[in-house]
Amino acid sequence: MPHNSAAHLIRYSGRGDFSPAVIDRAAGSSVFTEDGRELLDFTSGQMSAILGHSHPEIVATVHEQVGRLDHLYSGMLSRPVLDLARRLADSVPAPLEKTMLLTTGAEANEAALRMAKLVTGGHEVVSFARSWHGMTQAAAGATYVAGRGGYGPAAPGNFALPVPDRFRPDIVDADGNLDWRRQLDLGFDLIDAQSVGALAACLVEPILSSGGVVDLPPGYLAALRDKCHERGMLLIIDEAQTGLCRTGDWYAFERDGVVPDILTLSKTLGAGLPLAAVLTSADIEQRAHDRGFLFFTTHVNDPLPAAVGNTVLDVLSRDRLDLRAGELGARLRDGLLELAEKHSAIGDVRGRGLLVGLELVDTPAGGDADALGTAVTRRCAELGLHMNIVQLPGMGGTFRIAPPLTATDDEIDRGLSILGTALTETTA
């Protein structure tokens, strides 16, 4: 039955209201409404449930762990926390070997920025002009895609870097392609002009998700690392949505052979439960500790979510879901490219693995991409497919397509079929 969301809930996004249906349960790649409708979930919840909903091994872990050890005083340690910290260190390149377990991505980015500022002695932070890193103070200061207006001044020392968007390039070479090296040079020329000599960190996603599923060009991340280290800055990579096999690699930064100074994980680490992590080197951790690093939260190093994180790593490794994400991602991209041949409103298909963007554009016949994106999203929901579209001013709309890594071939095909029907009906 419909709900009256305005009665008692605070709306936490100005972009739209809550969805009209009340969700009763979820299993695998689907969620089910109170009135019995099934919605194929092509966002993995909030881009988090990489093992699908109610994965039986996650359910068993929660059931067992909550009855044994759920929450502790934050100075106490438990076996799930020690095991997860060791296993995360084993999953990333050296010298990343120290871990702090937290709850959300914003919290992890907050801790990473706090550590970088303390270690470098600076306070200035660089991030992409279409970034999303969270809604807490420092994370929100480094977020440019939304939520900046009306809250007073952001923390001083936040600088925006141009987005290397190959579909909508702002600086091009002789062939009309994005000249990202010249763009990066210009971006840092402007940052250097504004800096007061206190550059601390650069915080970036390897694939900007809320910024329109923009995959950094090969070579960009290495050049960015060099820019940072030339200035004594730490490179922080936020793999909230890309980490743990979604892109076809365990971590998206692996493609470029770049090791961040600090890595933050969240969303995918808990596979839908609140679990985040900050990873860094022993050297950086020691320097932060020597300077009195403080980041204290109620649920730091809690055993219950840590146990879930260990189960997530078990399933990802055993079922080789990095390879599976690559296979399913290729199937998804091929299907979307077929749709693009039939629909002129599809301007671009991009992404890696099972994080894929489909960008809608205005059509010569006068079709408005923003209106079309809203209509397609609504029609998909009516037909049984949950989709999410990022609509940025003047940029049409980009569907962020991120099914669970446990999805079947048939579920990918069914989602593509529904999307194709929705596009056909709404453009007609």
Residue of 98, 231, 267, 379 marked catalytic: 267
Q: Give the 3-state secondary structure of 328-373.
A: HHHHHHHHHHHHHHHCCCEEEEEEECCEEEEEECCCCCCCCHHHHH
Q: Compute how many other C-beta atoms are within 10 angstroms of the C-beta atom of residue 121.
A: 10
Residue of 132, 183, 285, 348 marked catalytic: 132
Residue of 180, 225, 241, 324 marked catalytic: 241
318: amino acid identity, one letter: R
Residue of 205, 249, 302, 359 marked catalytic: 205
Residue 218, Cβ density class (10 Å: 0-12 exposed, 13-18 middle, ≥19 buried) = exposed
Give catalytic status of residue 400 as yes or no: yes
H/E element, 413: helix 409-427
Place of tokens 């991209």: 333
CA distance linking residue 177 with residue 358, whole number of Å:
20
Residue 193, Cβ density class (10 Å: 0-12 exposed, 13-18 middle, ≥19 buried) = exposed
Contacts of 101 (CB under 8 A, 6+ apart): 81, 84, 85, 275, 276, 277, 300, 301, 302, 305, 306, 309
H/E element, 426: helix 409-427
Q: Compute how many other C-beta atoms are within 10 angstroms of the C-beta atom of residue 224.
A: 25
Give catalytic status of residue 179 as yes or no: no
CA distance linking residue 260 with residue 253, whole number of Å:
8
Place of tokens 């204290």: 296
CA distance linking residue 389 with residue 326, whole number of Å:
22
Give catalytic status of residue 350 as yes or no: no
Give catalytic status of residue 238 as yes or no: yes
- Using DSSP, state whether 137 is helix, strand or coil: helix
Name residue 238's beta-bridge partners: 264
Name residue 279's beta-bridge partners: 99, 263
Give catalytic status of residue 205 as yes or no: yes
Residue of 41, 97, 110, 238 marked catalytic: 238
Distances (CA, A) of 76 to 46, 225, 302: 31, 36, 9
Residue of 246, 359, 400, 411 marked catalytic: 400
CA distance linking residue 235 with residue 221, whole number of Å:
10
Give catalytic status of residue 241 as yes or no: yes
Give the residue numbers annotated as catalytic, written as ranges.
132, 205, 238, 241, 267, 400
